[in-house]
A = this chain, B = another copy of it.
Amino acid sequence: MNNTPWTRKDLLSLYDLTKEEIVFILDTAEEFKKVSQRKIKKVPALRGKTVVNLFVEPSTRTRISFELAEQRLSADIINIAADASSLRKGETLLDTIKNIEALQADLIVMRHSAAGAPNFLAPRVRCGIVNAGDGAHSHPTQALLDIFTMREKFGRIEGLNVSIIGDILHSRVARSDMWGLLKLGANVTFAGPSTLVPREFIKAGVRVCDNLKDALVGADVVNLLRIQHERQRSGFFPSTGEYAKVFGLNSDSMKYIKPDALIMHPGPINRDVELSSALADCPQSVILEQVTNGLAVRMAVLFLVAGCLK
């Protein structure tokens, strides 16, 4: 671990990182991607280390991706799901974390519905904290896998035009992508129903569009966010059918897109809502490659933060 620019025991948000740190994670992830392509998909990097996956908000795919990353690093793994947790018994979150620390855990991978929870906890424990999504705040490994996938395809991030479309307001993915992409020199556009695209992001350097066409023209990457049906019930947009017509990506809207543009989605897809079924499976779609790269990025992050524990 000499000569590494990585010195953090936690990964909380891409907002905190320098360009060099982000690039270093991506470079490390490239190495780890090869592990999952071997016959024996395992390295002993975290053998005898304990990783606790504390998911206080339900998640299947992020939890599985982290758990597999931990297995391939040979860590010992404890899963704690919200429902089973003693949180229900009225214990404070800090007490829960202090108890996990007292079990000599090394890393805590944490998802929580409250924005800022990992930032509050990280300076208060010896364990490393990896944020697996906190409220609408941050989801750094999702952004890293998005950026990794773009870099793998285009060979660079600088100067890429990336359009992120959908419910920006509630999306930790959009925020995380934005911080990472801006640091690496990409041009970021947000588009979606005006109730769901806060104009304050303009100050951060983002272009904001009210219509899909403007967001698609000239884009190198189109990243479609998942529409949460409960948002519709809350009146943010009239109906999912209406949403699909105005902001869904389908063969009609494809005419505005460059032929080598990438279609991305954090999953799980609502087929024929934010993305037509045909396009989800078309050659420009790299949605499943994102999943594959997520594993590599998470292996890299776990490996790097574990190397900075005292």
Contact = CB atoms under 8 A, between A and B. Distances in A.
A263 B295 CA distance: 44
A38 B47 CA distance: 12
Nearest to A63: B84
A65 interface: yes
Contacts of A61: 86, 99
A308 interface: no
A91 B104 CA distance: 38
A202 interface: no
A102 B288 contact: yes
Given A48-B41, A81-B84, A68 B99 contact: no
Interface of A: 36-42, 47-50, 58, 60-61, 64-65, 67-68, 71-72, 76-78, 80-81, 84-86, 89-92, 95-96, 98-99, 101-104, 229, 267-271, 288-289, 291-292, 295
Given A98-B288, A99-B288, 19 more contacts: A39-B48, A41-B49, A50-B68, A60-B85, A61-B86, A64-B78, A67-B78, A68-B78, A71-B76, A72-B76, A89-B268, A90-B229, A91-B269, A95-B268, A95-B269, A99-B291, A102-B292, A103-B295, A104-B292
Contacts of A291: 99, 102-103
Nearest to A90: B270
A64 B103 contact: yes
Nearest to A36: B104
Nearest to A289: B102
Given A48-B39, A50-B68, A80 B60 contact: yes
Contacts of A289: 102
Contacts of A65: 103
Contacts of A80: 60, 64
29 contacts: A36-B103, A37-B104, A38-B48, A40-B48, A41-B104, A50-B68, A50-B71, A58-B84, A60-B80, A64-B80, A65-B103, A68-B103, A71-B76, A71-B78, A90-B229, A90-B268, A91-B267, A91-B268, A95-B267, A95-B269, A96-B268, A99-B268, A99-B288, A99-B291, A101-B288, A103-B291, A103-B292, A103-B295, A104-B292
Nearest to A228: B89
B85 A271 contact: no
Nearest to A43: B48
A267 B47 contact: no
